[in-house]
A and B are shown apart, each in its own frame.
Chain A
C-alpha cells in the first residue's frame, strides 16, 4: 500500500483539529501557545506533502518561513507572557477581561 498525498493531508487535517481543540479548550495562555504550535506544524506537514507531491519547492519554502515566523512568535509571545505573569500573577485567560465592550 502506497502512501499518497491524501494520507498526509488527512493527517494534517487531524492534527490541525487537535490543535484547534486545544486552542478552544485551553484557558492557560502557555498551553494555548502549545496548541497554536500544533496547528502550525499541521500546516507545515500539508505544505511539505503537497510540495513533494507536485515537485514544487515553494511549499517547502513556505514551511521554512512558517518556522521562522513561529520562532519569532514564540520569542515575542513568551516575553509578553512573562510581562502578563508579572503584572497579574496568573496566566488564566478568564482573568483578563480588559477588552469588555
Chain B
C-alpha cells in the first residue's frame, strides 16, 4: 500500500516538476509546480511527518504559490516565454550527471551508517506535538530569528514592489529606455 502510494506520488511529482522546468507557458509551469508541491505534502504524510506535510500545504502550496500568482499579475503571463536555450546539451549533461552522482551517493549503502540521532522525538507524543516540543525548546532561537527574517522579508517585499505603484506599467515599458528612466528617478 505504502509502496503503491509512494510510486504514484513519485511519478506524478517528477512529471509535474518536469513540466515546470520545461514548459514554455508560465501559467502551466506555475500550476504544475503548485500541484507538485501538494503532492510532496502527500509524501510527508506517508513518511509520518504530519506537521511538515501540513506546513508544506499551507506555506508552499498556499502562501508561496499565491505570492507567485499575485506577482504574475505584474507580468504578462499569457504570452509564451521566448527563451533562447543555447546549449541544452550542456544542461542535460550537467544535471544528468549530478543526478547520477547523487543517486549513486544516496543509493550507496554506506550512507547513514554512522549517523546518530541528536534530537530524538519525545516519547508518547504524536508528530505535531513532538515538533512543537522540540521547536520551542532546542530550536527556539532559530525560530525567533526566522520570525524576524520573515518580517524583514515582508517589509522588503512591500517596499520593493510598491515603488511607483501609481504609474501604469504598460506606459513604462513602452518607452523602456534606461536613460530616460534614470532621469525620471532623479
State if A and B touch, Cβ cutoff 8 Å.
yes
Which residues does A use to contact B, with CB under 8 Å? 1-3, 5-22, 24-28, 30-31, 33-35, 37-38, 41, 44-46, 48-58, 60-61, 63-65, 67-76, 78-83, 85-92, 94
Task: Contact check, B21 vs A38: say whether CB atoms are below 8 A apart.
Answer: yes
Chain A residues whose C-beta falls within 8 Å of the C-beta of B35 in the assembled complex: none
User: From residue B34, how far is it (CB to closest CB) to chain A in Å?
Assistant: 10
Nearest A residue to B10, CB-CB: A11
Task: A2-B3, A41-B36 are known; give 10 further A-B pairs, CB within 8 A.
Answer: A6-B106, A9-B106, A13-B102, A35-B21, A41-B60, A44-B56, A50-B115, A68-B146, A79-B158, A86-B163
Cα of A74 to Cα of B91 in the assembled complex, Å: 25
Q: Which residues of B contact A (CB under 8 A)?
A: 2-3, 6, 10, 13-14, 17-18, 20-22, 26, 29-30, 33, 36-37, 40, 43-44, 46-49, 51-52, 55-56, 59-60, 63-64, 67-68, 71-72, 74-75, 81-85, 88, 90-92, 94-96, 98-99, 102-103, 105-107, 111-112, 115-121, 130-131, 134-135, 139, 142, 146, 149-150, 152-154, 156-161, 163-164, 169, 172-173, 176, 178, 181
Indicate if the CB atoms of A37 and B64 lie closer than 8 Å: yes
Taking CB atoms, residues of chain B closer than 8 Å to A2 are 2-3
Residue pair A17, B95 in contact (C-beta under 8 Å): yes
Of the residues A5, A9, A14, A76, contact of B156 by C-beta under 8 Å: A76
28 contacts between A and B (CB under 8 A): A11-B14, A13-B105, A14-B14, A18-B17, A18-B95, A21-B91, A24-B95, A27-B84, A28-B26, A30-B71, A31-B26, A31-B29, A34-B21, A41-B40, A44-B40, A44-B56, A48-B52, A54-B115, A55-B117, A64-B131, A67-B59, A68-B146, A69-B149, A71-B67, A82-B161, A86-B164, A86-B172, A89-B176
